[in-house]
Amino acid sequence: MALSHILMPALPIPPSWFPGHMMKFTRMLPALLTRTDVVLEIRDSRLPLTSINRTLEGALQKWRIERGWDPNNPTRRIVNTGACERIVVLNKRDLVPEWGMEPFRNAMAKKFPDQQMLFASWQRPRDIRNLSEILVKIAKRHPHAMELNVLVIGMPNVGKSTLLNALRNMGIKGRTPKAFQTSAQPGLTQALSTRLKVSLDPLVYAFDTPGVMLPFLGRGVEGAERGVKLALIAGIKEGLYDMEALASYLLYRLNVLNPISPAYLQLLPAGSPPTVNLEEFLTQLAQRMGMIKRGAEPDLARAAVYFVRWWREEGGLIAASSALQIQEYSAGSTHSGIQGWGFDFQWQLQPNDKPTSKIDEARIVQEKMEACIDEYQITMEREDSEENNISPTQIKKQQVLEEKMRRKMKYTKR
């Protein structure tokens, strides 16, 4: 039986994690773009909106305009003096359901026509070959250029280095050494890499860059949820979040993705029903896994760690195998239901959301996703206008700089 009431748990205030190497790269980006032909932005398929780094958007838009793209029409180029393309790769595609990929691609194409988007996984040679062919085609469209330079950017732990290693192995024939070190923990890459050759004919080079976190994740519920999402995909340094807080949100999100048979049921005894109670769930999990403390008490903290790490490994694959459930809501039904895709998309299914064909089914999902993207953009614009994306420390620093500037101007006038 499906869960009827799924409420998001209370979440902790997001921590700030913005080491010096991230600030250094952010300041370097405009200069790096002057010698960049293609920006390859890597995002996590589970967080296709949350893993957008808005702090880099201004520099990327300025780069496009300086290279001749029309600021009022992102699909029109006024002056074409060389390659200038932005490709967004949704990495780890095997961790989101297949049924949402095409509707998502179509929804994003309508909202962000200046970005070429594709799903990929380094474990799928066809995806890497497709990406390699795209880069080679761009290079061949500009035969006068001696080489094509690709700058790879993205948040921490979205898989930039791993994807580049796979791209190099695909583009360079014969045995090639692993070009970049990789890690399951964020923050391994802390400096701009040396150029990595990913194609010989035509010549294509790529630069790996440090993963850059948002300087401030935001206030209120939106900021708290943003932080927990990024921590769950290991995009935030381990230890900044309590694992039980992450387990609480993970339980909620897996219930949203499949209220009838959530993925975590595979961890519990056969016949266990879905639950929204974290303590009840962790108790069952601890007992089943033999995680018992002195006094025969279940070790809930250890169970929470196990739950989160299980999801990061095999659990995510199980969750991604869930089928589209629109058919569960018939035209004659009087109730609605929640549906989700990844961790960024959630919508309400109404009784009249009854598809008549597979094409109609995809159309409904696309419309729901477009509404979610609109809501995301409205939230970002509101946060920008209210300065909710700036931490108190940043505001104080900005005020100090403004005061120094006022004093300097006052002294100059004298």
In total, how many domains does the chain have?
A: 2
Q: How large is the average pLDDT for residues 328-344?
A: 66
403 in a structural domain? no
Residues 184 and 288 in one domain: no
Quickly list DSSP for 173-197. -S-----S---SSTT---SPPPPEE
Instruction: State the CATH number of the domain containing residue 103.
Output: 3.40.50.300
User: What is the distance between the alpha carbons of residues 389 and 307, in angstroms, rounded to a whole number?
Assistant: 31
E-strand stretches of 106-237: 116-119, 148-154, 196-199, 204-207
Measure Cα distances from 112 to 52, 85, 105, 116, 195 in Å: 13, 13, 10, 9, 29
**Greater pLDDT, 244 or 339:** 244
Q: Does 277 share its domain with 321?
A: yes
Q: Do 172 and 57 share a structural domain?
A: yes
The angle that helices 278-289 and 300-310 make with each other, rounded to 10 degrees, is: 90
230 lies in a domain? no
How confident is the model over 137-185, as pLDDT tens digits? 999 999 989 999 999 999 988 888 888 888 988 888 765 545 555 444 4
Shared domain for 40 and 189, answered yes or no, is: yes
Residues 199 and 249 in one domain: no
- C-alpha pair distances (Å), 150 with each of 36, 196, 212, 256: 6, 9, 17, 38
Is residue 258 a contact partner of residue 323, using CB atoms and an 8 Å limit?
A: no
The last residue of one of the domains, among 146, 180, 207, is 207
Supply the range of the domain harboring residue 323.
Answer: 242-381
Residues 264-314: pLDDT tens digits? Answer: 999 999 989 999 999 999 999 999 999 999 888 999 999 999 999 999 989
Element (H, E) at 401: helix 392-413
373 lies in some domain: yes
**Cβ burial 294-313 (10 Å sphere, 16+ → b, else e):** eeeebbbbbbbbbbbebbee
- What's this model's pTM, rounded to 2 decimal places? 0.84
**Residue 191 backbone dihedrals phi, psi, to 5 degrees:** -145, 160
Asked which of 190, 207, 224 is the last residue of a domain, the reply is 207
CA distance 313 to 318: 10
Considering the domain architecture, whether residues 258 and 327 belong to the same structural domain is answered as yes
Query: Within this chain, do residues 184 and 85 fall inside the same structural domain, yes or no?
Result: yes
**How confident is residue 135, by pLDDT bands cut at 50, 70 and 90?**
very high
Distance CA(336)–CA(351), nearest Å, equals 6
Asked if 169 and 253 sit in the same domain, the reply is: no
How much of the chain exceeds pLDDT 90, in percent?
Answer: 52
| Same domain, yes or no: 201 and 250 | no
Same domain, 142 and 50: yes
Residue 32 belongs to a domain:
yes
263 and 353 housed in the same domain:
yes
Mean pLDDT of 391-407: 59
Residues 58 and 191 in one domain: yes
Q: Would you give the DSSP letter of residue 241? A: S
Q: Establish if 78 belongs to a structural domain.
A: yes
Please determine, for residue 337, whether its predicted confidence score (pLDDT) is greater than 70. yes
Domain contains 5: no
Q: Report if residue 398 sits inside a domain.
A: no
How would you class 78 by CB atoms within 10 Å of its CB: exposed for 0-12, middle for 13-18, buried for 19 or more? exposed
Specify if 37 maps to a domain: yes
